[in-house]
């Protein structure tokens, strides 16, 4: 009877080899044997690993490369799983073998522990890092702040020269040059943000201006980095600096444009109020006076009419009623253009307006003020009165409210106005819809006064509109005027 061939196993030299080695049956792709390194890395005994390991799973194109010829080779990548469930990457170099006529596949894992493999992997990582850095807009850097306060730049990318006008070698040799680039007005914020990031070990995000002497120009830069504490007490940041001059100048231009637009809007409102005042006075004084004179002359003529001429008497009564209606219309138009109550102060004007609103809209409305008289500039009082008028108009149109409360208060250097209703409320979409000119007008008026306007849901339903404006003292006005003088933008 013929001898039974011995089972396929790895040679003793392969069992003791440093790389992971696997032996598979070529027909079933079942694992037949593994060496000690594979068992140690997978953290299984050999018997356990042979029992648990699934058949070799490889793409068909890779298996096709392993034809029946002994020595045929292929490469595949695996993610083997250890006993604890963790996975690792393994590159298997497969080759065809034979044992007593039985076709086998030998898989040798790439041993990354060899100096050559480590150097190759490091070179690949360095190449990828260099490619990323070279294509990153800005300066990639490492910055260290030692325990004794010394600063250092362990790494600076080639973008250093283009951004700062200094070579990496210059900053390596003299790290303090970077701080000297920062404009004097921005140095305090730079140091504060650095210390805050160091204390909390949280990301460092700073924007400021630097003077680039190479181009005699000011640049805005943004610095973003992440800190980590080292064993010797040093804090090291890794991050990127970018040139944001263009976007920052655009932001400044947008803010200035908005400020100019707001100033123009405030000027237009002021001119409009002055024109309303002029028209109201002309209507009241000139047209109203003329109508009163006509009424007096008409009364004199009526007394001279024949008492028995009923038709003339009827015509005279009609003309007299027409003059009365015209006088009422002139009075009403004058009040709409500018209520004469404003001459008595904002408290009196709002009290009158609230009563008029309650009478015309049929809504219960009350006015509360913490002072009987509040001395304000005429333009400020007029703007607050117009805001209140617009708010009450919106309530009458949309709120479906039954009660409205208007509160005016003066607290030291602030004046506040709130208007609350118990209506259906206001959705966020209502505030942002394109045709909400009433709300926008109130916001613009408040902003022009240097105040804030908030809209919120009332505690019992409805909406609460709140306005708070800080009143500037004469001393503050002088300081503000001095602060508005343009600052020097040259080198520190």
- What average pLDDT does the segment 310-330 reach? 84
Predicted pLDDT of residue 279:
80
Predicted pLDDT of residue 132:
74
Predicted pLDDT of residue 485:
47
Q: What is the DSSP string of 422-455?
A: -SS---HHHHHSTT-HHHHHHHHHHHHTT-EEEE
Predicted pLDDT of residue 377:
86
Predicted pLDDT of residue 425:
82
Is residue 365 pLDDT above 50, yes or no?
yes
CA 475 from chain center: how many Å? Answer: 35
Predicted pLDDT of residue 489:
47
Which long-range contacts (C-beta less than 8 Å, at least 24 apart) are formed by 297-300? Answer: 298/323
- What average pLDDT does the segment 384-407 reach? 90
Q: What is the DSSP string of 103-119?
A: EEEEEEE--TTSHHHHH
Rounded distance between C-alpha atoms, residue 51 and residue 46, angstroms: 9
Residue 188 neighbours by CB under 8 Å, 6+ apart: none
Lowest model confidence (mean pLDDT) among 19-33, 114-128, 138-152, 161-175 = 114-128
Q: Tell me the per-residue pLDDT of 29-51, one tens digit each, with 9 for 90 and over.
A: 899 999 998 999 889 999 998 88
What percentage of the chain exceeds 70 in pLDDT? 88
What percentage of the chain exceeds 90 in pLDDT? 32
Question: How far are the Cα atoms of 50, 87, 386 from residue 57, in angstroms, in the given order?
Answer: 15, 16, 79
Predicted pLDDT of residue 34:
93
- Going 56 to 62 to 68 to 73, the CA torsion angle's sign is negative
Predicted pLDDT of residue 491:
54
Is residue 484 pLDDT above 70, yes or no?
no
Rounded distance between C-alpha atoms, residue 291 and residue 128, angstroms: 91
Predicted pLDDT of residue 189:
96
Predicted pLDDT of residue 431:
60
Pairing of strands 102-109, 90-99: antiparallel
Q: pLDDT class for 477, splitting at 50, 70, 90?
A: very low
Average pLDDT, the chain: 83
Predicted pLDDT of residue 183:
95
Predicted pLDDT of residue 229:
93
Predicted pLDDT of residue 314:
85
Is residue 5 pLDDT above 70, yes or no?
no
Predicted pLDDT of residue 76:
84
Predicted pLDDT of residue 255:
84
Predicted pLDDT of residue 486:
45
This prediction has a pTM of 0.48
Lowest model confidence (mean pLDDT) among 177-186, 391-400, 419-428 = 419-428
Predicted pLDDT of residue 487:
45
Q: Tell me the per-residue pLDDT of 264-318, one tens digit each, with 9 for 90 and over.
A: 877 777 787 778 777 867 776 777 788 888 888 888 888 888 878 788 888 888 8
Q: What is the DSSP string of 45-86?
A: -HHHHHHHPPPP---HHHHHHS-SSTT-EEEEEE--B-TTS-
Predicted pLDDT of residue 3:
54
Lowest model confidence (mean pLDDT) among 60-69, 83-92, 155-164 = 60-69
Predicted pLDDT of residue 482:
52
Q: Tell me the per-residue pLDDT of 46-86, one tens digit each, with 9 for 90 and over.
A: 999 888 888 887 766 667 767 777 778 888 888 888 888 88
Lowest model confidence (mean pLDDT) among 231-240, 285-294, 456-465 = 285-294
Is residue 465 pLDDT above 50, yes or no?
yes
Q: Tell me the per-residue pLDDT of 177-200, one tens digit each, with 9 for 90 and over.
A: 999 999 999 999 999 999 999 999
* CB-facing half-sphere around the CA of 250: CA atoms within 13 A: 4
Residue 414 neighbours by CB under 8 Å, 6+ apart: 468, 469, 470, 471
| Helix, strand, or coil (residue 359) | helix
Q: pLDDT class for 242, splitting at 50, 70, 90?
A: very high
Check: CB of residue 28 under 8 Å from CB of residue 56.
no
What would be the CATH architecture of the domain defined by 132-243? 2-Layer Sandwich (3.30)
- What average pLDDT does the segment 82-97 reach? 86
Options 3.30.565.10, 3.40.190.10, 3.30.750.24, 3.40.50.620; CATH of 341-479: 3.30.565.10
Check: CB of residue 383 under 8 Å from CB of residue 466.
no
Options 3.40.630.10, 3.40.50.10860, 3.30.450.20, 3.40.50.300; CATH of 12-111: 3.30.450.20
């Amino acid at each position: 009877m013929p001898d039974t061939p011995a089972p396929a196993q790895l040679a003793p030299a392969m069992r003791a080899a440093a790389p992971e080695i696997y032996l598979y049956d070529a027909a079933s792709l079942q694992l037949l044997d593994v060496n000690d390194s594979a068992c140690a890395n997978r953290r299984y005994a050999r018997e356990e690993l042979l029992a648990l390991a699934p058949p070799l799973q490889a793409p068909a194109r890779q298996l096709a490369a392993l034809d029946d010829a002994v020595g045929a080779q292929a490469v595949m990548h695996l993610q083997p799983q250890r006993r604890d469930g963790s996975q690792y990457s393994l590159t298997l170099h497969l080759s065809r073998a034979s044992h007593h006529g039985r076709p086998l596949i030998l898989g040798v894992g790439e041993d990354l522990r060899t100096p050559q493999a480590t150097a190759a992997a490091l070179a690949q990582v360095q190449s990828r890092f260099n490619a990323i850095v070279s294509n990153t807009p800005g300066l990639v850097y490492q910055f260290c702040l030692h325990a004794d306060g010394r600063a250092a730049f362990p790494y600076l990318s080639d973008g250093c020269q283009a951004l700062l006008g200094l070579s990496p070698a210059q900053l390596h040799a003299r790290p303090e040059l970077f701080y000297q680039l920062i404009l004097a007005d921005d140095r305090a914020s730079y140091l504060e943000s650095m210390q805050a990031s160091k204390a909390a070990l949280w990301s460092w995000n700073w924007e400021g201006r630097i003077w680039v002497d190479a181009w005699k120009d000011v640049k805005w830069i943004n610095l973003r980095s992440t800190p980590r504490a080292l064993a010797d007490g040093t804090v090291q940041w890794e991050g990127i600096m970018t040139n944001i001059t263009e976007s920052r100048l655009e932001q400044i231009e947008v803010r200035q444009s908005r400020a100019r637009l707001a100033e123009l809007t405030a000027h237009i409102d002021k001119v409009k109020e002055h024109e309303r005042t002029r028209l109201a006075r002309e209507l009241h004084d000139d047209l109203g006076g003329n109508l009163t004179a006509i009424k007096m002359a008409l009364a004199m003529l009526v007394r001279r009419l024949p008492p028995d001429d009923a038709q003339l008497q009827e015509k005279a009564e009609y003309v007299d009623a027409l003059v009365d209606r015209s006088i009422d219309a002139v009075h009403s138009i004058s009040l709409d253009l500018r209520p004469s109550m404003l001459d008595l102060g904002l408290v009196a004007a709002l009290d009158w307006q609230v009563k008029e609103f309650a009478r015309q809209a049929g809504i219960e409305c009350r006015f509360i003020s913490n002072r009987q008289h509040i001395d304000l500039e005429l333009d400020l009082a007029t703007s607050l009165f117009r805001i209140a008028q617009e708010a009450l108009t919106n309530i009458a149109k949309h709120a479906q409210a039954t009660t409205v409360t208007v509160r005016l208060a003066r607290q030291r250097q602030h004046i506040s106005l709130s208007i609350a209703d118990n209506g259906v409320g206001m959705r966020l979409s209502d505030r942002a819809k394109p045709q909400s000119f009433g709300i926008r007008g109130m916001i613009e008026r408040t902003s022009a006064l240097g105040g804030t306007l908030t809209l919120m849901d009332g505690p019992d339903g409805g909406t609460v509109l709140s306005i708070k404006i800080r009143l500037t003292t004469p001393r503050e006005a002088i300081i503000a005027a001095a602060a508005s003088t343009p600052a020097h933008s040259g080198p520190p």
